[in-house]
Chain A
Amino acid sequence: MVITALDHVPHCYTADDGLTIQRLVDAAMRRGEDVELSFAGVHAAVPSSFVNAAFVGLLERYGLDTIKRSLKITNSTRQINEMIRSRVNAEAKASFKACA
């Protein structure tokens, strides 16, 4: 399933925007579908509040391996990619430490 972020939120900026995206991705993953999350049309920088809200809840629910397998990011910029990678990896590491 392809989810184009800007079809659902006015911008990829706030925690509220991120939660909207999280719910859409979560619903698809619950149905067992792979998800392509497209940032087509997003030219602005994407801050941490959006990324935390969009991805960290998914990480807690599905784990990093499933996220990497089932969620593909497309039409993104270097800044968006770096923000997603750094936040998701940091949160995965923190939750691993908490469990260890």
Chain B
Amino acid sequence: MLVIDLPEQFDGNGLYIFLGKVINQNREPMDSHIIFDFSKLKWIEPSGVVVLSNAMEWLSARNITYQYKNINIPQNHIKYDPIAYLDDSQFFATYIGKVLRNGAKHRATTIPLCRVSHSKSSGWLESCLLSWLSDNLSVSRSSLSNIDVCIREIFNNILDHSGVKMGCIFAQLYPNKHEVVIALSDFGIGIPNKISKIKADLCDQDAILLASQEGISSKSLKTNRGVGLNLLIQNVVDLNGGSLKIASGSGILKCGRSGEKTVRTPVSAPGFYPGTFIELRMRTDMIKETGDDREEFEW
């Protein structure tokens, strides 16, 4: 039996500390029974929520049993309490079958945590993510085509390249920052493993950078043209002015604006990511009402 403390800050760095305790580099679980101790957890971001969820899915698929310890919610100030946040996100409803406190439900600024298979992703996008954004931002569904195509590109990448069919996804709006953060995680084969089939001698962050360039494809399917990640970056960074992080294996690719330019920065990760993690930070103030977007086609 192994006791694992959740990190104090379950964010972009904390997720590596957590995963390093759960999964070894041979992609095996650290123990056959794990107790997750929540007592040190002080802050959790959408990235932490999807990674925690993906870890539970991954352990369950390997018949690893787990329990939670110290999942206590204070009486006051629950808005900023990470366990209350997880409770509201439906994390405990999903993994222990019940919410921790009566009336826990997803907050207006978040969607419920979802495990979405590719086959269900189109319906989920329509009924959950896009309708939630449309309501909160007071724009028509067609005004969100930029976000719609990004998530579809990611789900097609999971289907075509990851070797798994399921991704965990969570999103939060930050109205004061005019930002929506969408985090997706799969524990599939990972980008560096796929790229090693066409170029073997790259470090993981350079493999992700290469995969992000147009025309680079491992040809998992004959029709692949290696444009999905590049399109994702164009939509998030070039068109929306947002930023994007792609983590896989021991590498991270950070994409954002620097002046008028889109900058793609490969960096070494502070740990190992057993699959692919993508975080989109998109500017909601750049989402404009487009009205009817039907348009006559011209070559």
Interface secondary structure of B, over-half rule: helix
Instruction: Tell me whether B160 and A15 are in contact (CB under 8 A).
Output: yes
A45 close to B299 (CB less than 8 A): no
Roughly how many angstroms separate A11 CA and B148 CA in the complex, as a whole number?
A: 14
Q: Any chain B CB within 8 A of the CB of A4?
A: no
Tally of B interface residues using CB under 8 Å: 31
Stretch in contact with the other chain, from B40-48, B266-274, B288-296: B288-296
Residue contact A81 to B225, C-beta cutoff 8 Å: no
Pairs of residues from A and B, 8 with the lowest C-beta to C-beta distance, nearest first: A45-B149, A45-B148, A73-B297, A47-B152, A53-B223, A79-B145, A49-B156, A68-B299
Is B213 positioned at the interface, with any CB of A under 8 Å from its CB?
no
Check if B293 sits within 8 Å of A78, measured CB to CB. Answer: yes
Q: Does A27 contact B (CB under 8 A)?
A: no
B56 within 8 A of A: no
Beyond A73-B297, A78-B295, A90-B214, whether A18 also contacts B149 by CB under 8 A is no
A52 touches B227 (CB 8 A): yes
Query: Which of A18, A47, A76, A90 gathers most chain B CB within 10 Å?
Result: A47
On chain A, the residues within 8 Å of B297 by CB distance are 72-74, 76, 80-81, 84
> Chain A, 6-41, contact with B by CB distance < 8 Å: what is the 0/1 string?
000001011100110000000000000000000000
Q: For B295, what are the chain A residues with a Cβ–Cβ distance below 8 Å? A: 76-78, 81
B5 interface residue, CB < 8 Å from A? no
